[in-house]
Amino acid sequence: MTVPDGAGLPSVGWRPPRRAPVVACALLACAAVTPSPAVSAPGDGPGRDALCGDGPLDILLTNDDGATAAGIRALRTQLVAAGHRVTLAAPDHNASGTSLSFTWGDVSVTRDPDDPSVVAIGASPATSVVIAANVFYPAGTGPDLVISGINHGPNSGALLMLSGTLGAALAGTVLLDPPVPGFAVSAERLYPDEPMDSPANRAQFDAVAAHFSRLVSTTRGWFCERGRVARARTVLNVNYPAVEIASLRGTVMARQGSATGLHVQVVQTAEGTYRARPDRRPVDGADDSDLQRLSGGYATVTPVNAELGDDDFPGRKLRQRLRRL
């Protein structure tokens, strides 16, 4: 999730016209989009899911920062270079902080006139995933993997509850049938005093994207057992600290932290009008949490899913109180 700072989407060539769709559609009413080309997939053998092999994948790439954001464009370049077939389908606006929210009703879809595998969607990140998976793949097929990012800023600790980046990836696990596992990837800005799309920050996105592409190749088989996808309702949430990739201390699995450095202040801007403003504060994560590992210079990988239950609550005491009803 990128906390709004008043800046619009960075300029990277094509920009979807604001709410001026080439295609207007309700769910399942759009024309097909051709994924970017890739090498031919080698046969993984009968009865084997593509994700469980080592050939190219059909990847649905999205984010919450918008279809023209620097992070998603850098990641698309690296995934295509790795041989994957990539369909980029992301909001046509900055939709940070929208979590798993869904857009109902008619939705505008705008194709990049120079690349039919890129579409901007006038909806939330989660909605963009559902539309793309149902409409932009031939009947009876779908993506092998949903990848959301690279987000412009971290998505760790309790902040995950707000993340549109994670929400988009989770949409594949809970709103698609059959469910599709995924990754959510975020990176702290290496040069926070420079614009997100400055040459230095773009170079960092390129380096993060290259590292993450290798991470996908290394970890894709984790979703599988005996050649079949076994963890289709899981997302691997990946975070990169604000250090150069060459200086990473390593890439480690970490549990989700329970704290967050994001606090919200509400100010009155006019009579009857208020605005929420972000207030970031230092936060210490517990040992082995993503917050603690990120602060130590590690990239973190955290398995998450849509289950919001608290297994650590005192269940016996709650049951006793419920009996009094």
- φ, ψ of residue 262 in degrees (nearest 5): -95, 120
The pLDDT of residue 288 is 72
Per-residue pLDDT at 249 exceeds 80: yes
Per-residue pLDDT at 260 exceeds 60: yes
Kindly indicate the confidence band of residue 15, based on its pLDDT and cuts at 50, 70 and 90: low
Distance between CA 13 and CA 157 in Å, rounded? 34
For residue 290, is it within any domain?
yes
For residue 172, is it within any domain?
yes
What is the dihedral sign for C-alpha 13, 19, 20, 23? Answer: positive
Kindly indicate the confidence band of residue 278, based on its pLDDT and cuts at 50, 70 and 90: confident
Kindly indicate the confidence band of residue 86, based on its pLDDT and cuts at 50, 70 and 90: very high
Q: Quote the percentage of the chain above a pLDDT of 90.
A: 67
For residue 18, is it within any domain?
no
The pLDDT of residue 320 is 87
Kindly indicate the confidence band of residue 131, based on its pLDDT and cuts at 50, 70 and 90: very high
For residue 276, is it within any domain?
no
Three-class SS state of 53: coil
- Per the structure, the count of domains in the chain is 1
* Cis peptide, bond prior to residue 178, ω within 30 of zero: yes
Side-chain-side CA neighbours of residue 79 (13 Å): 29
Taking alpha carbons only, the member of 226, 223, 244 closest to residue 147 is: 223
Region 271-297 average pLDDT:
83
The pLDDT of residue 47 is 56
For residue 13, is it within any domain?
no
In contact, 226 and 165? CB cutoff 8 Å: no
For residue 271, is it within any domain?
no
Q: Which domain holds residue 131?
A: 23-258+284-322
C-alpha dihedral over 63, 124, 301, 37, to 10 degrees? -40
Distance between CA 250 and CA 296 in Å, rounded? 10
CATH (domain of 301): 3.40.1210.10
The two beta strands, 273-280 and 235-240, are unpaired
Region 218-232 average pLDDT:
96
Distance between CA 143 and CA 288 in Å, rounded? 33
For residue 2, is it within any domain?
no
Per-residue pLDDT at 217 exceeds 80: yes
- Global confidence as pTM: 0.84
For residue 202, is it within any domain?
yes
